[in-house]
Amino acid sequence: MNWLNGIQADIRRKEPLALHTSFHIGGPAELFVQPRDVRALQRFLARCVRRRIPVRVIGAGSNILVGDRGVKGAVICLSAPAFGRIRRNRGGLSVGAGLRLNRLIGYCMPRGLSGAEYLAGIPGTIGGAVKTNAGVAVKHDRRVSNHWIGDLVESLTIMDYNGAIKRLRRPDLRFGYRCSCLPAGIILAVSLRLSARTPGAIRRTVAELMSRRSRTQAAHQPSAGCVFKNPPQQGAGALIDRCGLKGARCGDACVSPLHANFIVNLGQARAVDVLALMRRARAAVKKKFHLALEPEIHIWE
């Protein structure tokens, strides 16, 4: 492919996205591109613009269901070291979008930097987490507090699909439940505002959250986490459970018997199986509770 000559990137054709999603499901990307640095990403995007090639970005692929026929165009993955750096700044950290959340927590814990520990066990990257405003609700003394990554974001750097880089500051940013209102583009780096806490207290929070996950989630089976968003004041999992769907199957896709808002891949599940199970759960909840469940996972077809 001559048009890609000179671009510093690992570029693969017809790369199965099943290899890059936590569901282990998904057909090929026409091009799977891991640029070496920001400059290489800019050069690649410029050529895509010229050729009208559609571009998407994937993080750890832990919140995406990719269709069995794959996707057209290029899928960009910021897995190169240049996109995974951490730097201290005033009041917090500047973190590359490709960094995994567990690495961030591992950096913060011994330094007594608090805020990110609530993301323990979420298998994403910083970029994916900010885009989806990942987080958890923690119950303490019958009170529930939400810990979303959006609350920690002080500013971020984003590249649009023409290669132009923009810095967005706190007043320009808006986050909601599992969503962010960001312009189209690729998040490159994020500044996080963190507070001080003892390493021991951070460690205890991480241990509590990890233990809760292992009791309540099918973390050892391929999935994309919660499939549906929770409707106001309700848990989507509890609603699906009350429809009797725990353990329901379509091919190798199965509603987790542990957590009904997780669909797990028992081995050879295809995207069509997951989608069929999602339709079934949605229809059952609609019929019984008159509530329309909205997907939390991002569906790429």
Known catalytic residues are: 178, 226, 296
| C-beta of 186 vs 260, nearer to ligand FAD | 186
Conformational region of residue 236, where left means phi above 0, alpha means psi within -120 to 50, and beta covers everything else: alpha
| C-beta of 186 vs 271, nearer to ligand FAD | 186
CB 240 within 8 A of CB 260: yes
- Interacting residue ranges for ligand FAD, rule: CB under 6 A: 22, 56-64, 78, 97, 122-125, 127-129, 131-132, 134-136, 186-187, 217, 219, 223-225, 298
Least distance (Å) between residue 124 CB and ligand FAD: 2
CB 7 within 8 A of CB 51: no
Least distance (Å) between residue 230 CB and ligand FAD: 11
Least distance (Å) between residue 119 CB and ligand FAD: 8
| C-beta of 64 vs 236, nearer to ligand FAD | 64
Q: How many residues does the chain have?
A: 301
Distances (CA, A) of 97 to 94, 170, 217, 218: 10, 17, 26, 27
Least distance (Å) between residue 288 CB and ligand FAD: 26
Q: How far apart are CA 276 and CA 262, in angstroms?
A: 14
Q: How many helices (H) and strands (E) does the chain have?
A: 6, 20
CB 280 within 8 A of CB 250: yes
Least distance (Å) between residue 178 CB and ligand FAD: 6
| C-beta of 60 vs 293, nearer to ligand FAD | 60
Give the other-Cβ count within 10 Å of 297's Cβ: 22
